[in-house]
Amino acid sequence: MLSVLCRKQLIVPLSNARVYGIPRFLVAGKDGIFVRLFSSKRFEIEADDKQSFTVSYLMNSCGLSSEAAISASKKLHLNSPEKPDRLLALLKSYGFSNAHISKMMAKCPIILTADPEKTVSPKLKFFHSIGVPAPVLARVLSISPHILRYSLQKKIIPVYINLKRLLQTNERIVHFIKRTDGNYHFIYGVLKYIHSNVAMLRKYGLRESDISFLFSHYPNILIIETDRLAALLDRVTEFGLDTKKHAFVHAMEVLFSISKSNWEHKKEVYRRWGWSESDIRRAFSIHPKCMTLSEKKIMSTMEFLVNEMSFQPSDIARYPVVICYNLEKRIKPRCQVAKVLLLKKLIKKSYSLTSLVVIPERLFLLRCVTKYQGKIPLLDLYHGNLSLVDFGSKCEDPT
């Protein structure tokens, strides 16, 4: 008989132990090697106890919901609260709030098994030493706690060295880290792609000031695959944007962040107001952010400018920045002032979009409000203390 299968254990004769590949470290009896089956009640009880403790710890100490705790417990088993308690105390000493900790453990619960003193503390000390403020560090690591699993010597410090060569100062490095918003690929991207990506940007003719702007405002673009960056640059140049113009980097960010389906949807919204394909391309090349607005924002602003103020859609396409302005706080108050000036015959000629909406606040007040304040209370109208009804029931359009 080669073996005897029992309810709680498998008995394998010593003579057959090597044949069946039984590990040498298992306890051997006079009749053979005893291997407890995974279905034994004792094993099940021990496993249940461990998972129960893990779930309870994640809920009570880390603030996870019962569902999140059960899901997270599948990725680790805690035997005692000693080590995780020390880890949580360490994080709190660096300014991590309960919300930060809860977010971290929901995303990467295995961190609870890390050695607080040997593994986690040196990394936190390093980030602190280069000037990362506690609130920034807590926010970034709560978004991407996997950073704490990277080797300090092999990954994190080399990233710092790479960034120091490019950005020169710790202040710029901290700003760069802050703007990445805890991108999961941050460390990998800096190590593998950032130097080749900067070289790619220079090859396409971007100015150093615009590359610095990317570092400061859109750093996630700099840590994508170099082939993907080249495709993005090609797509922007297809719109005819000059790499020497600042709008080029804004166009990069828009095309990087917007999906193809969303892009097509925004084009359709503008087409409803009579924009042609050339109008859309021109508007994007002038002010790329016009393609990031919500459908509700586009519709409400275009409805007011076209239907209430009688501006031509094609004129708006020439000054697409107008659509990005706040309708209630900027566009409508200025247009109301213009209507009253025409009603009172204080001006004879109509306003253009640039002279009415685009010009800075100081110039608008100087030219259209304070100039006539002695005759009519335009400042009260502009600030919403009076309405058009207070100046007469009918007001002509300013165009």
Q: Mind listing the pLDDT tens digit for each residue in 149-204?
A: 999 999 999 999 999 998 989 999 999 988 887 676 888 889 999 999 999 999 99
Residue 163 half-sphere exposure, CB side, CA atoms within 13 Å?
Answer: 26
Q: Is the pLDDT assigned to residue 249 strictly greater than 80?
A: yes
Interacting residues of 285 by C-beta distance below 8 A, sequence separation 6+: 239, 240, 241, 247, 251
- pLDDT for res 5: 40
- pLDDT for res 51: 77
Quick one: CA dihedral 257, 259, 264, 266, positive or negative? negative
Strand order of the sheet with strand 9-12? 4-5, 9-12, 33-36
Tell which wins on pLDDT, 172 or 392: 172
Q: Residue 15 is which amino acid?
A: S
* Strand partners of residue 35: 10
- pLDDT for res 182: 66
Confidence of residue 393 (pLDDT cuts 50, 70, 90): very low
Q: Which residue has the tokens 């120091």?
A: 164
- pLDDT for res 38: 42
**Which contacts qualify for 262-265: CB closer than 8 Å, 24 or more apart?**
263/291, 265/295
CB 177 within 8 A of CB 215: no
Dig out the tokens for 287 from the structure: 């002010």
Q: Is the pLDDT assigned to residue 265 strictly greater than 80?
A: yes
Q: Is the pLDDT assigned to residue 36 strictly greater than 50?
A: no
* Strand partners of residue 34: 11
Mean pLDDT score of the chain, rounded to an integer?
85
- pLDDT for res 49: 58
- Is 10 strand, coil or helix? strand
Q: What is the mean predicted confidence (pLDDT) over 319-342?
A: 93
Q: What is the DSSP string of 214-263?
A: HHHH-GGGGGS-HHHHHHHHHHHHTTT--TTSTHHHHHHHHHHHS-HHHH
Summarize pLDDT for 283-313 with one digit per residue, the tens.
999 999 999 999 999 999 999 999 999 899 9
Q: Is the pLDDT assigned to residue 335 strictly greater than 80?
A: yes
Tell which wins on pLDDT, 177 or 232: 232
Backbone dihedral region for residue 21 (phi beyond 0: left; psi -120 to 50: alpha; all else: beta): left
CA dist 112 to 79, 87, 102, 108, Å?
Answer: 11, 7, 12, 9
- pLDDT for res 323: 96
CB 317 within 8 A of CB 275: yes
- pLDDT for res 186: 84
* Strand partners of residue 10: 5, 35
Comparing CA positions, the residue from 297, 289, 359 lying closest to residue 328 is 297
* Strand partners of residue 28: 33
CB 323 within 8 A of CB 302: yes
Q: What is the mean predicted confidence (pLDDT) over 228-255?
A: 94
* Strand partners of residue 369: none
Q: Is the pLDDT assigned to residue 134 strictly greater than 90?
A: yes
- pLDDT for res 333: 94
Q: Is the pLDDT assigned to residue 396 strictly greater than 70?
A: no
Confidence of residue 23 (pLDDT cuts 50, 70, 90): very low
- pLDDT for res 3: 39
Q: Is the pLDDT assigned to residue 348 strictly greater than 80?
A: no
Q: Is the pLDDT assigned to residue 261 strictly greater than 90?
A: yes
Helix axes 260-271, 277-286, angle to 10 degrees: 110
Confidence of residue 48 (pLDDT cuts 50, 70, 90): low
Confidence of residue 346 (pLDDT cuts 50, 70, 90): confident
State the Cα–Cα distance between residues 370 and 379, nearest whole angstrom.
7
Burial string for 36-52 (b: 16+ CB within 10 Å, else e) reads: eeeeeeeeeeeeeeebe
Helix axes 170-179, 208-217, angle to 10 degrees: 60
pLDDT-above-70 percentage for the chain: 85
